[in-house]
Amino acid sequence: MHFYNTTSFCIFAKTPLKGFILVHMSFGQRLTELRKKQGLSQEELAQQLGTQGPAIGRYERGTAKPTIEVAAKIAKLLGVSLDYLVGNSDIELDSEMLQRIQQVAQLQEEDKQMIYTFLDSFIDKARIKGILK
């Protein structure tokens, strides 16, 4: 179940006792979470972005929204996809995963099918063990 709009989105979080629960996060909350996960202050992120700390604070509080270009730059600096940052995807694809996906996309079709078969077998194994639903 996904809910999308321009200011907020939903993700599913796994808890040890309750399984999956619906967690509502705004763009600003996601930005805050990712920034802190990277160990960056608002000012440090702002410097890397070429702006001032108060702009990041406004984004995080939801009182201002970045342009698509700025949001893309923030996503790149934080090592996630723009889709994840803005809530179009619930899966956090870091830059390493994105790079691998891009490399697979460039392979010949026969090689892609081998990789898909390999991945499917691991996914099936995880489902059997109850790790994935």
Phi-psi region of 13 (alpha: psi -120 to 50; beta: other; left: phi over 0): beta
SS3 label, residue 18:
coil
- Over residues 6-46, the pLDDT tens digits come to 333 344 444 443 444 445 577 898 999 999 999 999 999 99
- Over residues 54-87, the pLDDT tens digits come to 999 999 999 999 999 999 999 999 988 888 888 8
**Residues forming beta bridges with residue 25, ordered by sequence position:** 9
Over 80: is that where the pLDDT of 48 sits? yes
Q: Where are the beta strands (DSSP E) in the chain?
A: 8-15, 19-26
pTM: 0.62
